[in-house]
Amino acid sequence: MSPIVILERQAPSGVMELRRGRFEIVLDGNSAGSIDRNQTVELPVEPGRHTLQVRTGRYSSHVHSFDAADGTDIRFRCNGAIFWPHYVASLFVPAIGLKLKRG
C-alpha cells in the first residue's frame, strides 16, 4: 500500500485565521492541489524522501522534508497567521506567512 500524506487545515479552536483563502499545496516542488479552511486533503506519494509546503500569493510556509514508507500515513496541519503580530511580520517576511506543522 502506498504512503499517504494527510494535510489538515484547521486553526486552533476558537481562533480565527487572519490570512484566509485557498492555499496551494506544493509537494516535491510541484503543485499538488489546494486546500480550503476546515478541509482535509489526502495525497498518495511514492515511498522515499519528499518535501511539502503550502503557499498563497507571495506568502508561504517553510518547506518540510519527510520520509514516507509503504503503508504509512504522514500527517501535517496548516493554517494562516492567527495572531496579529505574526500577521504583520509576514508582510515583511512572506516566508512566515503560513504555518505548516507535522503531526
Q: Which CATH number is 24's domain given?
A: 2.60.40
Question: In whole angstroms, how large is the CA radius of gyration of the chain?
Answer: 14
Copy the grid coordinates of residue 99: 504555518
Element housing 91 (H / E):
helix 84-92
In total, how many domains does the chain have?
A: 1
23 touches 92 (CB < 8 A): no
Give pLDDT, residue 18: 73
Say what the pTM is.
Answer: 0.90
Domain of 68, in residue numbers: 4-102
Model pLDDT for residues 19-58, shown as the tens digit of each residue: 778 999 999 999 999 999 899 999 999 999 999 999 999 9
Copy the grid coordinates of residue 2: 502506498
Q: Comparing 99 with 51, which gets the higher pLDDT? A: 51
Mean pLDDT of 4-9: 97
Number of H helices, E strands in the chain: 1, 9
